[in-house]
C-alpha cells in the first residue's frame, strides 16, 4: 500500500507545471564549467534557513528557519509570516527547527513532516525529534501536530543533531541522526545517536528492520557509525539512500547507506580533532567490520543538504549530485561514472555564504538556501 501511494504521488507530481516564475528579481551571471550560471535572488531576510520543500500547483515553498519558524515563500518571492502550530524547538547552537518534508500523499492528506531539536534531557540537553501535522488550505496553520519519533537519550548541548528526512520508493521514512558530539554513542546500538533510522510514516517500526527483535538494540536503526549526517537524498535511478556527513577536522564523507552496516565513526575516520590531536577511539582511516566512505574530502568543506539532478531542463547537469558546503561556502557539483565520483566543481563561491540546502525544483532549476542571519533563497540555472 505504501508503494502504491508513493507511485501515485510521483504520477501526480508530473502535473505540477514546469513553467518558470516570471517576476523582477536580481540575477547574477557566474561562469561554470557547463557555461554561464544564472543565479536569481528569490528572497532575502530569512533567519538561518535550514530546509525547503516545494508545494504543488505553484503555491511556493515551505522554508524552515532554525530559530523555530516555518514560512511560505511564494513563486514571486513573497515571504509569509510564521505558520501557526509549529512545535516549540530547542534553538541553541546547531539546534532548532531543521528539515521539512511533504508526505508522499500530500495532495490528499496535506501532511508536513518536521525534524527539530527538542529539549527536556537531563542538564538541559536535547535530541532530534520528528513530527507531522496537516497544513491548512490557506497555508497559515499546521494543525494537529504530533511527534512520531524521538532520539533517545537526549545528549546534545548544542551539537550534531543531523537531521534529514527522506522517503524511499516504498514510502518508508529515513531519518539521519547526529551523535550529539558524544562520539562513542555512534557505536552503541541501545542508543539513537549517530544512526540512520527507518520507520513507517506514523512512527511505527517495520518488522524487517535489521535489528528488530535483538535484545538491547533499538529496532528503529537501519545503519550506524555516523557522525553528523546533515545531507541525504534518494538516488532516483537506483532507489538507494545516499548520505553525507561532517568529519571532524577533515574527513567529510559521502556514503551509500546499506541495511545494517556500520559506517565506522569514531573507530575509522580521515579526520582529526579540532585541537589537532587524533580521535582517541580511531584505529585509523579504516577499521575491521566497518564500511569505508564512498567518497571522502580530506579537507572538510562542511557538507550539508544534497540533491540528485534528474531534470530535463539542463542536460549538462544530468546524473550530477549537488551538495551544499558550509565551511568552504560553496555548492559542490559531483560528476559520476556509474556510482564512482570522477569530477568535482565548486560553484557559488562568489556569494560568500554558507550553503545550507539545495533542492531540485519541479521546474528543473536548482534552489539554494544560505545559512546566515540574513539568509537568502536563490534559483540556479544555466543560460
String of DSSP letters for 52-109: EEEPSTT--EEEEETTTEEEEE-TT--BPPPPBTPPP---STT-SEEEEEE-TTHHHH
**CA-based nearest residue to 240, from 301, 302, 294:** 294
Mean pLDDT, the chain, rounded, equals 93
**144-193: per-residue pLDDT in tens?**
999 999 999 999 999 999 999 999 999 999 999 999 999 999 999 999 99
The verdict on pTM exceeding 0.85 is yes
How many CA atoms are closer than 13 Å to the CA of 358, on its beta-carbon side? 28
Percent of the chain with pLDDT over 70: 93
Peptide bond into 163 cis (omega under 30): yes
Q: In what order do the strands lie in the sheet with 49-54?
A: 49-54, 61-65, 69-73
| pLDDT for res 26 | 82
Please give, one letter per residue, the 3-state secondary structure of 321-359. Answer: EEEEECCCCEEEEEEEECCEEEEEEEECHHHCCCEEEEE
β-sheet bridge partners, residue 54: 61
Mean pLDDT of 15-32: 63
User: Under the phi-then-psi rule, with left for phi > 0, alpha for psi from -120 to 50, and beta for the rest, what region is 139?
Assistant: left
**116-139: per-residue pLDDT in tens?**
999 999 999 999 999 999 999 999
In this model, does residue 36 exceed pLDDT 50? yes
Write out the three cell numbers for 212: 528488530
Give dist(CA 383, CA 269) in Å, integer. Answer: 40
**87-116: per-residue pLDDT in tens?**
999 999 999 999 999 999 999 999 999 999
In this model, does residue 248 exceed pLDDT 90? yes
Question: How far is C-alpha 332 from the chain's CA centre?
Answer: 15
| pLDDT for res 4 | 42
pLDDT category at 15 given cuts 50, 70, 90 is very low
In this model, does residue 32 exceed pLDDT 90? yes
**Residue 295 falls in the annotated catalytic set:** no
pLDDT category at 12 given cuts 50, 70, 90 is very low
Catalytic residue among 160, 246, 270, 343: 160
| pLDDT for res 24 | 56
Mean pLDDT of 361-373: 97
pLDDT category at 19 given cuts 50, 70, 90 is very low
| pLDDT for res 14 | 38
Give dist(CA 17, CA 267) in Å, integer. Answer: 48
Q: What does DSSP assign to residue 319?
A: T
Give dist(CA 230, CA 195) in Å, integer. Answer: 12
**63-95: per-residue pLDDT in tens?**
999 999 999 999 999 999 999 999 999 999 999
**CA-based nearest residue to 129, from 142, 140, 113:** 113
| pLDDT for res 66 | 98
Mean pLDDT of 220-241: 98
Sorted by where each starts, the structural domains of the chain and their CATH numbers stand as 48-300 (2.120.10.30)
Amino acid at each position: 500500500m505504501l508503494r502504491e501511494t508513493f507511485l501515485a504521488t510521483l504520477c501526480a507530481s508530473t502535473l505540477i507545471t514546469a513553467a518558470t516564475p516570471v517576476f523582477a528579481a536580481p540575477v547574477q551571471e557566474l561562469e561554470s564549467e557547463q557555461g554561464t550560471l544564472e543565479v536569481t535572488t528569490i528572497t532575502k531576510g530569512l533567519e538561518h534557513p535550514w530546509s525547503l520543500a516545494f508545494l504543488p500547483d505553484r503555491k511556493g515553498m515551505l522554508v524552515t528557519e532554525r530559530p523555530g519558524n516555518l514560512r511560505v515563500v511564494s513563486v514571486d518571492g513573497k515571504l509569509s509570516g510564521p505558520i501557526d502550530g509549529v512545535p516549540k524547538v530547542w534553538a541553541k547552537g546547531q539546534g532548532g527547527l531543521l528539515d521539512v518534508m511533504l508526505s508522499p500523499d500530500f495532495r490528499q492528506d496535506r501532511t508536513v513532516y518536521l525534524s527539530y531539536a527538542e529539549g527536556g534531557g537531563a542538564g538541559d540537553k536535547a535530541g532530534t525529534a520528528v513530527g507531522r501535522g496537516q497544513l491548512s488550505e490557506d497555508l497559515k496553520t499546521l494543525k494537529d501536530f504530533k511527534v512520531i519519533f524521538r532520539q533517545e537519550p537526549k545528549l546534545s548541548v548544542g551539537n550534531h543533531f543531523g537531521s534529514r528526512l527522506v522517503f524511499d520508493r516504498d514510502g518508508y521514512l529515513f531519518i539521519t541522526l547526529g551523535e550529539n558530539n558524544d562520539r562513542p554513542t555512534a557505536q552503541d546500538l541501545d542508543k539513537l545517536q549517530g544512526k540512520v533510522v527507518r520507520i513507517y510514516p506514523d512512527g511505527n517500526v517495520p518488522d524487517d528492520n535489521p535489528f528488530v527483535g535483538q535484545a538491547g538494540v533499538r529496532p528503529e536503526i537501519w545503519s550506524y557509525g555516523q557522525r553528523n549526517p546533515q545531507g541525504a537524498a534518494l538516488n532516483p535511478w537506483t532507489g538507494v539512500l545516499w548520505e553525507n556527513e561532517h568529519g571532524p577536522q577533515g574527513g567529510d564523507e559521502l556514503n551509500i547507506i546499506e541495511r545494517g552496516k556500520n559506517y565506522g565513526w569514531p573507530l575509522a575516520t580521515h579526520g582529526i580533532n579540532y585541537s589537532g590531536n587524533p580521535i582517541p577511539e580511531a584505529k585509523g582511516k579504516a577499521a575491521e567490520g566497518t564500511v569505508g566512505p564512498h567518497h571522502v574530502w580530506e579537507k572538510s568543506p562542511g557538507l550539508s543538504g544534497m540533491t540528485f539532478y534528474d531534470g530535463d531542463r539542463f542536460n549538462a547537469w544530468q546524473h550530477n549530485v549537488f551538495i551544499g558546503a558550509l565551511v568552504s561556502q560553496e555548492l559542490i557539483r559531483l560528476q559520476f561514472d556509474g556510482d564512482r565520483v570522477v569530477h568535482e566543481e565548486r560553484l557559488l563561491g562568489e556569494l560568500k555564504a554558507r550553503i545550507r540546502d539545495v533542492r531540485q525544483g519541479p521546474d528543473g532549476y536548482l534552489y539554494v538556501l544560505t545559512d546566515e542571519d540574513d539568509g537568502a533563497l536563490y534559483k540556479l540555472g544555466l543560460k
